[in-house]
């Protein structure tokens, strides 16, 4: 029995959910998300609760049970509250700024890194060393953060680079004399 799948998803006020032709749609104040529901699970909407149950007792059906429930819960949270991640830039001269629909980051290269912000994502820089990524789709927010971090991941000797807020970097000792 799935520990995640057995709990129904609560639909908050202001979010409309709809299931038609195997496609689940969640609409809220921040936008709309859709998910194609697999034929291995049964999804039912009862008032403000969404329940997911496996069709049969096969292993793939039981696997998709918890996965589908988690995807639906993430969609409902995304259209009602949204997702955000904050990243920190550490290093001398490293900074970031939003310029129109681009994020311009100086990471110690001979040129600035210009990252085109995708649709559905909002990027803000409260400080030159802080980047906040917000959006409705949790997967897209994580993907944007991973792409920004890939330009200069934090290194273990001085801790320079782009890291998530609160992330602990395992530091190494330098050369011994």
Q: Could you tell me the pTM of the whole model?
A: 0.87
C-alpha 158: how far from chain center: 28
Question: Boundaries of CATH 3.90.930.12 in the chain?
Answer: 9-80, 83-164
For 72-109, give the DSSP string: HHHHHHHHHT-EEEEEEEESTT-EEEEETTEEEEE-SS
Q: pLDDT digit of tens for each residue in the chain (177 aa)?
A: 667 888 999 999 999 999 999 999 999 999 999 999 999 999 999 989 999 999 999 999 999 999 999 999 999 999 999 999 999 999 999 999 999 999 999 999 999 999 999 999 999 999 999 999 999 999 999 999 999 999 999 999 988 999 999 989 888 988 887
pLDDT for position 110: 94
Three-state secondary-structure class, residue 139: helix
CATH number of 83-164: 3.90.930.12
CA distances from 126 to 98, 110, 132, 152 (A): 10, 25, 8, 20
What crossing angle do the helices spanning 59-80 and 138-149 adopt, rounded to 10°?
80
- CB count, 10 Å around CB of 162? 24
Task: Say which CATH topology domain 9-80 has.
Answer: Outer Surface Protein A; domain 3 (3.90.930)
The dihedrals phi and psi of 160, each to the nearest 5 degrees, come to -75, 145
In the sheet where 113-116 sits, what is the strand order? 95-99, 102-106, 113-116
- Encode 104-133: b = buried (16+ Cβ within 10 Å), e = exposed: ebbbeeeeeeebeeeeebebebeeeeebeb
> Is residue 81 a contact partner of residue 28, using CB atoms and an 8 Å limit?
no
pLDDT for position 1: 61
pLDDT for position 2: 66
């Amino acid at each position: 029995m799935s520990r995640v799948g057995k709990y129904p998803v609560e639909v908050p006020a202001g979010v409309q959910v709809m299931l038609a032709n195997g496609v689940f749609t969640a609409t809220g104040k921040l936008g709309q998300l859709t998910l194609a529901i697999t034929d291995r699970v049964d999804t039912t909407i009862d008032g403000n609760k969404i329940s997911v149950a496996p069709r049969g007792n096969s292993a793939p059906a039981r696997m998709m049970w918890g996965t589908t429930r988690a995807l639906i819960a993430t969609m409902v949270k995304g259209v009602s509250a949204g997702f955000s991640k904050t990243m920190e830039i550490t290093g001398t001269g490293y900074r970031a700024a939003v310029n129109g629909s681009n994020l311009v980051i100086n990471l110690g290269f001979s040129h600035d890194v210009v990252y085109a912000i995708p649709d559905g994502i909002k990027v803000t820089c409260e400080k030159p060393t802080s980047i906040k990524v917000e959006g409705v789709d949790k997967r897209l927010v994580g993907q944007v953060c991973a792409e920004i971090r890939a330009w200069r991941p934090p290194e273990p000797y001085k801790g320079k680079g782009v890291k998530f807020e609160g992330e602990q970097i395992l530091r190494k000792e330098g050369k011994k004399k």
